[in-house]
Amino acid sequence: MESTPAVPVPSKPKIPDDPGRGAFISLRRLTPFIRPYRGQMVLMTLAALGATLVGVAVPLLTKNLIDGPIAHHDKAALWPLGGLVLLFGIVEATLFWLRRWFLQRAALGIETDIRNAFYRHLQKLPVAFHDSWQSGQLVSRVSGDISSIRRFFGFALIFLVVNSATFLLVGGALVVIHPVMGLIIYAASVPLIVYGRVVDRRYHRQSRAAQDQAGDVATLVEESALGIRAIKAFGRQGLVFGRFDDRARQLRTLELRKIRTLSELWAVFALQPQTVLSLCVLIGAYAVSSGALSLGTLVAFISLYLTLLWPIESMAWLMAQSQEANSAAERIWEVLDTVPAIADPEDTRNAGDDRRGELVFENVGFRYPNSAKPIVSGFDLRVAPGETVALVGPTGCGKTTLTALVPRLYDPTEGRVLVDGVDIRELPLTELRRKVACAFEDPTLFSASVRENLTMGVPDATGEQIDEALAVAQAEFVHDLPWGLDTRVGEQGLTLSGGQRQRVALARAVLGRPSILVLDDPLSALDIHTEGKVEQALHSVLRGTTGLVVAHRPSTVLLADRVVLLSPAGPDGATIAAVGTHQELLRTCPAYRDILSQTSDLVDAADEAEAEAAEGELVEVTR
């Protein structure tokens, strides 16, 4: 099975220092996901703002208490005002509860919808996209990045609004109470805002770098987990841990850099209001001592300003959370903005039913993205309905690539592929993949039951159809598993042997009796005895099915009605070197015989075929 050329991985795109990014463009693009929850978001914001306003009213009541009942020693007037303070406390607590209740419903709903949309889009993206992206980068986006967005919409966004409104309302009240001190508070906020904007951009870059590095670490962990058998077999735990430790240390460095920036930001945002508070206390104390200001007014002013301390100090953390969410949204949109290169056409056509399973390659050529050298070029072949054709050739000549073009895992870069006379790019993908089933040399099973793996392409398959497919693939062993067909096979199907995985994957391919069956050397892990039984059963399946088979072994070649020999991949790519039956190519094509002779049992098959041919020629001479 050919491997695809290496493609540059866009795991760490360069993030320019764009001042426009401070406007949270990527987050604003998520508005369609917020729209279904806007009512709850509004109620959540109003509840938070109401709780803040109730908290602001308490200092004003304190002013009335001090300047009224306390100053005039009117004990009877204390009770109504005290009861009102208690009532405000109850209302504030209720509003806090409502905010949390709306927060959970809205924020979790937004997170779920974004994650579902992201995963659906991943399924639509072609194999070429997944070839070029690290899986850990995708996992980190669908988990950590979307969680960051949820925290922003559920908390940071709400309190950015609430804290800004609180600053304006309370600041306005402070200006009314004492214009000089109120204007000092407003004036002192200007350099703080400018400083916050500058540091905010720096934190955005650091946040993005850390998120990308976290994706790299996730990729390394995933690769190590999947390759644990090879790692242990070669005793390379130390080497793999060294790589992980290097990546983890880089991530630690990036996270510490973020922490230093956030600490600096938080320290400045904590120092500024305390400095302003000290200045206001000095000015207010002097005004009270000179009789220009009452004690109750000063207490109310200081109490009101104290309600601003947390909103001002928390702005540092809220801005950091916002930048993390914005860079997370950028990473999400990098995937969502990728247009699927393989998708349903706007004007779909259904293949006719008069020819069931005709497969035609017309001047097909293919090159992988970012590769200057084509893999295949000028490939022309017609496979008649019910005919089986074997693809034979040296390693790297494009056999696996050609099989991947039939179900549109890739699209040809030149020419076209037709099924029943229709270009497969004009067929709905569901229709095409109902007609075409595949079994690969390296089978993929999912962490699900055997039944779920078998019926992936035919979810409504009957028990008789499943039993028939298992018999064809010689996979009846699944009935002996602890829970039979309901036994879970583990991640990647690793609880099964390689041969067992191949047989289950082959049963999955033949289950729906497709019009076209593509087999990419699916029997390579089977022993000779089992392989013979499978091939004998496949003969009956392939009689009524068009087959395209990548063959490396003689028994697989003998399944085919015709054999296509591919030339080695040259500068212009591989193409067809010869076409004929197995016997014809043995007699007439030295290159074909050379490929077969690389395996001892193929030599025997070749010698036997040559002897039969010689005997036939002798009979002709005798006649």
Ranges assigned E (strand) in 323-369: 359-366
- By mean pLDDT, which of 7-16, 93-102, 320-329, 446-455 is the weakest? 7-16
Question: Is 6's pLDDT higher than 60?
Answer: no
Domain assignment present for residue 7? The answer is no
Question: Is 13's pLDDT higher than 60?
Answer: no
- Where do runs of H (alpha helix) occur along 340-488? 399-405, 429-435, 450-454, 463-472
447 and 593 share a domain? Answer: no
74 and 191 share a domain? Answer: yes
What pLDDT does residue 544 have?
Answer: 79
443 and 541 share a domain? Answer: yes
| 3-class DSSP assignment, residue 355 | coil
Domain assignment present for residue 385? The answer is yes
Domain assignment present for residue 481? The answer is yes
Domain assignment present for residue 342? The answer is no
Residue 405 confidence class, pLDDT cut points 50, 70, 90: very high
Domain assignment present for residue 351? The answer is no
Compute CA distances 471 → 103, 506, 523, whole Å. 54, 11, 15
Residue 70, classified by CB atoms within 10 Å of its CB into exposed (0-12), middle (13-18) or buried (19+), is middle
Tell me the pLDDT tens digit for each residue of 509-543.
888 788 898 988 777 767 677 777 777 777 777 77
545 and 594 share a domain? Answer: no
Domain assignment present for residue 346? The answer is no
477 and 498 share a domain? Answer: yes
Residue (of 292, 428, 422) closest to 347 by Cα position = 428
What pLDDT does residue 67 have?
Answer: 59
**In the structure encoding, which two tokens stand for residue 87, read together?**
């009532």
CATH number of the structural domain spanning residue 530: 3.40.50.300
404 and 328 share a domain? Answer: no
- By mean pLDDT, which of 206-210, 250-254, 285-289 is the weakest? 285-289
- Domain boundary among the residues 336, 369, 388 is at 336
Compute CA distances 530 → 145, 261, 540, 545, whole Å. 48, 64, 16, 22
Whether 474 and 522 have beta carbons less than 8 Å apart is answered as no
Whether 36 and 146 have beta carbons less than 8 Å apart is answered as no
558 and 603 share a domain? Answer: no
Whether 509 and 438 have beta carbons less than 8 Å apart is answered as yes
305 and 423 share a domain? Answer: no
Domain that holds residue 99: 19-336
Residue 157 confidence class, pLDDT cut points 50, 70, 90: confident
- Domain boundary among the residues 304, 336, 368 is at 336
Tell me the pLDDT tens digit for each residue of 334-388.
999 999 888 888 765 555 545 578 999 999 999 887 777 889 999 999 999 989 8
What pLDDT does residue 288 have?
Answer: 84
**In the structure encoding, which two tokens stand for residue 177, read together?**
């109470």
What pLDDT does residue 17 have?
Answer: 43
514 and 620 share a domain? Answer: no
Tell me the pLDDT tens digit for each residue of 140-153.
899 889 999 998 98
CATH number of the structural domain spanning residue 218: 1.20.1560.10
Cα–Cα distance, 201 to 317 (Å, whole number): 14
505 and 601 share a domain? Answer: no
- Domain boundary among the residues 302, 336, 370 is at 336
Domain assignment present for residue 343? The answer is no
Question: Is 53's pLDDT higher than 80?
Answer: no
Domain assignment present for residue 477? The answer is yes
Question: Is 63's pLDDT higher than 70?
Answer: no
Cα 171 to chain centroid distance, Å, stands at 46
- By mean pLDDT, which of 157-171, 351-365, 431-445 is the weakest? 351-365
Strand order in the sheet with 359-366: 376-383, 359-366, 414-419, 422-423
What pLDDT does residue 70 have?
Answer: 62
Tell me the pLDDT tens digit for each residue of 283-299.
888 888 888 877 777 87
- Say what the alpha-carbon torsion angle 96, 102, 106, 111 is, to the nearest 10 degrees: 50
516 and 599 share a domain? Answer: no
Question: Is 606's pLDDT higher than 60?
Answer: no
Could you give the number of structural domains in the chain?
3
531 and 614 share a domain? Answer: no
